Amino acid sequence: MPTTNDQQPRTRIGYGWDSHEFKRGIPLKIGGLTLPHNKGLGGHSDGDVLLHALTDALLGAVAAPDIGTLFSPSDPRWKGADSSVFLTEALERVRAAGYTIANVDSTLILAAPRIGPHATAIRERVAKFLEIPVDSVGLKAKTPEGMGTENAAIAHVIVLLEKRGRGLTESKRRVRKA
Ligand SMILES: [Zn+2]
């Protein structure tokens, strides 16, 4: 007998975007890691532009309210907050909707520092947050050629969700058990 869950789409896509301005005298947090640099990202919370875009991508995939609605920048509770708090809420909403994450892809746009040397560490950190393999987390970094955004960091993130219990991994597991 079909249940409500069976009528939900097997896959869902989500997209998130964020930007923060560089400011002197604060640590640079990207993807949950503190990167060595003479400036960090300002704004509410810890300014982790990648985790904010990822949070919005996950929320968008299940049509939940966005990060700014759930965690208002004017709310003093989120001043200097660790952005993993926002990500945890988004993950809970994805799980409650009955989905798991198939993969994530992301692009960072910033003039400095160079992301290349830290890309693997960032991907590993994000994969750990999401409890998915590191080869399911894509990360590219670009410099803002001709955009005039040298004093900002921008992140674009896209996620693909898969209905829980319908994925390849789940079917394999069931076959193995049988
Ligand atoms: Zn943000």
DSSP per-residue string spanning 131-172: TS-GGGEEEEEE--TTT--TTEEEEEEEEEEEETTTSHHHHH
15 Cα: distance to centroid of ligand 1 (angstroms): 14
134 Cα: distance to centroid of ligand 1 (angstroms): 23
Q: What is residue 169's predicted lDDT score, i.e. its pLDDT?
A: 52
* Measured distance CA(57)–CA(54) in Å, rounded: 5
Contact 22, 40 (CB under 8 A): yes
Written as tens digits, the pLDDT of the chain (178 aa) is 445 556 789 999 999 999 999 999 999 999 999 999 999 999 889 999 999 999 999 999 999 999 999 999 889 999 889 999 999 999 999 999 999 999 999 999 999 999 999 999 999 999 999 999 999 999 999 999 999 999 999 999 999 999 998 545 544 545 544 4
Q: What is residue 1's predicted lDDT score, i.e. its pLDDT?
A: 47
Domains for the chain: give ranges and CATH numbers: 10-177 (3.30.1330.50)
Peptide bond into 113 cis (omega under 30): yes
Q: Is 78 helix (H, G, I), strand (E, B) or coil?
A: helix
* Measured distance CA(146)–CA(83) in Å, rounded: 30
Q: What is residue 6's predicted lDDT score, i.e. its pLDDT?
A: 63
What is the helix (H) or strand (E) element at residue 16, kind and residue range? strand 11-24
49 Cα: distance to centroid of ligand 1 (angstroms): 5
163 Cα: distance to centroid of ligand 1 (angstroms): 28
Q: What is residue 166's predicted lDDT score, i.e. its pLDDT?
A: 55
